[in-house]
Amino acid sequence: MHIKTIEVESWTELMDALFQDAWSKGLQRFRSSYVYRGLEDSSFDLTTTLNRLGESHLEKHLLRNFRKYSQLNDDDNKSVWNWLALAQHHGLPTRLLDWTYSPLVALHFATANFMHFDKDGLIWAANYVDTKEYLPDQLAKIIDEEGSHIFTAEMLDRAVSSIPELSRLKSDSFAVFFEPPSIDQRIVNQYAVFSMMSDPNVVISNWLADTEVRYFCIQIPAELKWEIRDKLDQSNINERVLFPGLDGLATWLKRHYRDTRSRSMRSSLPIRETFRDKREREGQSDFPSPSANPTKD
């Protein structure tokens, strides 16, 4: 598969690449039709957790037992698509793939783990508006009636109320992009979007390459990652915001205080002297030496 890849060498080039095609002639505004996904290693592909499990036939069993044991009121989440989003959010293997409307949030995920800063990263961008051309008639009608470019769980429910029904809508594979419900602040802050394939065994990157949907990738050089990371942190695009709570705070602080200087540079730094050391060195000490034995008058 040939991937349309843009190579950048600086922060400025990266920003230009991320926000390309953002101008909407019809709206006369900068409103991008792309969603983004950041990968910390450019060798990673767009497989879902269900793909990586290698057992797509287990999908219905995984979701059924998640619903059964979750101890949540099923009446509050009647939609199977809401349940699927909730399961994905909590780490269950699903056919869903996480994307974001924000290119900077995607950039965060490509540079979050400093243990992988020796590897090039990758940003995927896919035009979700273009994917409407490949929808089955039932879904295309719903999204056109709404005047929308992307689905919600409620919109999907009007055509399909179960996962098996999705693949029966059309013989050819198609992709669906939908916004998850605001389960918690994490979903909101990450500006999250999910994609799913009608056939869970199809990888969306392969599907994109066989369609007319616009997409591109940006390769992030390993040597640029620390600059990107520091500038994102300064812009408040970090775990403290994207993963609200103590876990996110601890992760951010761990990286924020990471000493990136070489060992030789750290060992050559002068030992910080105390206020007392400084006054003794300047002959101004008001304190007796520990070895002194003062006599009484």
Of 9-18, 51-60, 97-106, 265-274, which range is least confident? 265-274
Cα–Cα distance between 188 and 203 in angstroms, integer?
26
Residues 238/232, Cβ–Cβ less than 8 Å: yes
**Would residue 27 count as lying in a domain?**
yes
Task: Tell me, yes or no, whether 265 lies in a domain.
Answer: no
Residue 270 falls within a domain, yes or no?
A: no
Identify which has the larger pLDDT, 297 or 100. Answer: 100
Would you state the pLDDT for residue 27?
87
d(CA 31, CA 36): 14
Residue 269 lies in a domain: no
Please check whether residue 257 lies inside any domain of the structure: no
| C-alpha span between 67 and 81 (Å, rounded) | 12
Examine residue 105 and state whether it is found in any structural domain, yes or no: yes
* Mean pLDDT for the chain overall: 88
Q: Among 3-17, 32-46, 245-259, 264-278, which is the least confidently predicted range?
A: 264-278
Task: Answer whether residue 290 shows pLDDT above 80.
Answer: no
Q: Is residue 165 part of a domain?
A: yes
Of the candidates 109, 100, 118, 125, the one whose C-alpha atom is nearest the C-alpha of residue 229 is 109
Ranges 70-74, 81-85, 160-164: which has the least confidence: 70-74
**Domain ranges, residue 114:** 5-247
pTM: 0.85
Q: Total domain count for the chain?
A: 1
CA 149/CA 76 separation, integer angstroms:
26
- Three-class SS state of 193: strand
Per-residue pLDDT of 52-73, as tens digits, reads: 998 888 999 999 999 989 877 6
